[in-house]
Structure 1
Amino acid sequence: MRRPPWVPEDMDLDRPAAARVYDYYLGGSHNFAADREMARKAITMWPDLPLIMRANRAFLRRSVTFLAERGFTRFLDIGSGIPTFGAVHEVAREIQPTSRVVYVDKDPVAVAHSRLLLQDDPLSTVVDADLTDPADLLARPEVAELLGAGEPVALLLVAVLHFVTDDQDPESILRTLRAALPPGSALAICHASLEGAQDQAATHQDLYNRTPTPLTMRSLDRITGFFDGFELFDPGVVYLPQWHPDEPTAVGEHPERMVGLAGVGLLK
């Protein structure tokens, strides 16, 4: 296939990547044949998947709006993926026009295309770093500057922690990140869950486990534990559609079908 100019020369286009598969689910165009093949296979097994991914994205928008309305102007979006509609800086600046955003991802396409889109935005920065190496991530100058100003920072971990395996110790990663946050900071998480459609969830997890980005779906108790050191805003950790819906009817009769859990907490 013809390689687009924003794709790094050394990147293997024949292997699917989570960020690009997610882009496909959202209706984006920054994905390749291998990504689309995996996504279509997953949708055949679980037709709700595009709805679930859009519910993730809708939670991102609602959580950023919620925090911006409470005065947050600094956002650290780790596992940001490929910028599509409703990126963090766009949502935040509707409420706080001077919002600063640092996007972090390890996918070469996500990083390259984000830099291209944001090259004329002095308040947004893109960092190539890996959540599973939080010390390196926090040492990056762009991240250190965002955190070092002493102003509260909204740490966004949206649809990324389920790509951290248990062997990589997500609790330890969160402790390291929490220790670096200024007073008054916040944490937003949404995470694929074992609650809800367990049979389909297990099949989906198995599909991802055959790729370079294995998926670990977790329980409500485990995901709630990720907020250790934070005080959860109401309604706590709930199914994606249940967290501050735009209107009551948006929740639907079966929110558990979205099989993702989400919450936002304030640093104690």
Structure 2
Amino acid sequence: MTAQSSTGRIDTSRPHPARVYDWLLGGKDNYPVDQQVAEKLPAEARLNAMRNRAFMHRAAAWLAQGGIDQYLDIGTGIPTKPNLHQIVQAIVPTARIAYADNDPIVLRHAEALLVSDPAGATDYLEADVREPAVILEHARKFLDFDRPIALSMIALMHFITDAQDPYGLTRKLVEALPSGSYLMFSHGTTDEHPHLVKSVTTTYREGEIPLRMRTRDEIEPFFEGLELVEPGLVTATKWYKDTPAPREELSGFYVGVARVP
């Protein structure tokens, strides 16, 4: 169980998406600059963050129940129990989970991410999704790329602008996975909250956080070449498998799980 950093000094003068998200989930590992952004967001943003988190719990559990025992989680964020490895290892104790995030504060909390079931293992790398080769090089030392892997990209790609090629970055990561792997994915949208578009985008822009909310049609290409698992690409509260249906509510996220053929 190791954690590797790329240097990263924590910059408390500028807000960071991981710390804003931590505040939205009720966490304490954020700074005044992050709180200022979060508190300006509509109240619905906090509920949407929780609905998105609940999707991750359901999807990870379903994948583990299906026998997936390797996970690459990019855009990990500040640990909020239960973490991905806690959900997965409760079902598959031998599971191995590699975490990656570009906020140095997450490294400070890596101990929580690295407390694995003794039968399994966890790993952490400070890295940016915009450098997929770096992430894959590290992951190959920890995960077996000859067997199925679940790639988790939760609430991440709406912080990647069009100019940074979000589809290409995702494709590079997915193409490295063997057949039988899965992509577990969620992406911010204002499709169900059109009245909040200006408020949300203005708040993030003022915080100097790049934000590119996308429509359902714009999110579909992230799954190009993959086999979407039922119920397909849906809003967060509509995705469930083998569990009671969540309360159906409006959502600020489209979500999906797809198999690599």
Same fold (TM over 0.5): yes
1:14 deviation in Å? 2.6
Shift of 1:85: 1.2
Following TM superposition, by how much is the alpha carbon of 1:22 offset from its aligned partner in structure 2, in angstroms?
Answer: 0.7
C-alpha change, 1:119 and 1:241, in structure 2 (3 Å) is closer
Deviation by residue 1:159-212 (Cα, 9 ceiling, x = unmatched):
001111100001111121111101210001111113111120332022112334
Partner amino acid for 1:58? A
Letter in structure 2 aligned against 1:247:
P
For residues 87-106 of structure 1, what are the structure 2 equivalents within 5 Å? 87-106=83-102
Q: 2:129 and 2:100 mapped to 1: Cα distance?
A: 8
CA gap 1:9/1:233 in 2 versus in 1, 3 angstroms: closer
The SS at the match of 1:209 is helix
Provide closer, same or farther for how the CA distance between residues 101 and 212 of structure 1 changes in structure 2, counting only shifts above 3 A. farther
Percent of counterpart pairs with the same letter? 35
Aligned in 2, Cα 1:265/1:41: closer, same or farther, shift over 3 Å? same
State how far apart, in whole Å, the 1-side matches of 2:209 and 2:232 are. Answer: 28
Within a 5 Å distance, the mapping from 1:118-129 to structure 2 comes to: 118-121=113-116, 123-129=121-127
TM-score by length of 1: 0.88
Q: Which residue of 2 aligns with 1:117?
A: 112
Q: Which amino acid aligns with 2:167?
A: E
Instruction: Say whether the 8 Å CA contact 1:147–1:181 is kept in structure 2.
Output: no
Higher RCO (CA-CA < 8 Å; seq separation 6+): 2
CA distance in 2, matches of 1:72, 1:130: 24
49, 52, 55: which one pairs with 2:51?
Answer: 55
Aligned equivalents of 2:141, 2:121: Cα separation in 1: 12
Work out whether 1:152 is the aligned partner of 2:148. yes
Q: Residue 260 of structure 1: CA displacement?
A: 0.8
Measured in 2, the distance between the counterparts of 1:9 and 1:134 equals: 18
Deviation at 1:47, TM superposition (A): 1.3
Any residues of structure 2 matched to 1:68-107 within 5 Å, and which? 68-107=64-103
Label 1:10 to 1:235 Cα distance change in 2 as closer, same or farther (>3 A). Answer: closer
Query: For residue 33 of structure 2, what is the aligned residue in structure 1?
Result: 34
1:225 aligned to 2:225? Answer: no
Matched to 2:71, the amino acid is F
Q: Distance in 2 between matches of 1:162 and 1:148?
A: 29
Q: Tell me, yes or no, if structure 1 residue 266 matches structure 2 residue 255.
A: no
Judging changes above 3 Å, is the alpha-carbon distance between structure 1 residues 259 and 38 closer, same or farther for their aligned structure 2 residues?
A: same
Sort the Cα spacing of 1:259 and 1:157 in 2 relative to 1 into closer, same or farther, 3 A.
Answer: same
Deviations 1:134-175 (A, max 9, x none): 1222122xx112444411000000000111110000111112
Answer yes or no: is the 8 Å Cα contact 2:8–2:103 preserved in 1.
no
Given that 1:147 and 1:180 are in contact with CA atoms closer than 8 Å, whether structure 2 keeps it comes out as: no
* TM-score normalised according to structure 2 size: 0.90
Tell me what 2:133 maps to: 135
Deviation by residue 1:100-152 (Cα, 9 ceiling, x = unmatched) = 100100001012212x3245547011111100111222122xx1124444110
Is residue 96–residue 121 contact of structure 2 (8 Å, CA) maintained in 1? Answer: yes
Separation in 1 of the partners of 2:231 and 2:177?
A: 23
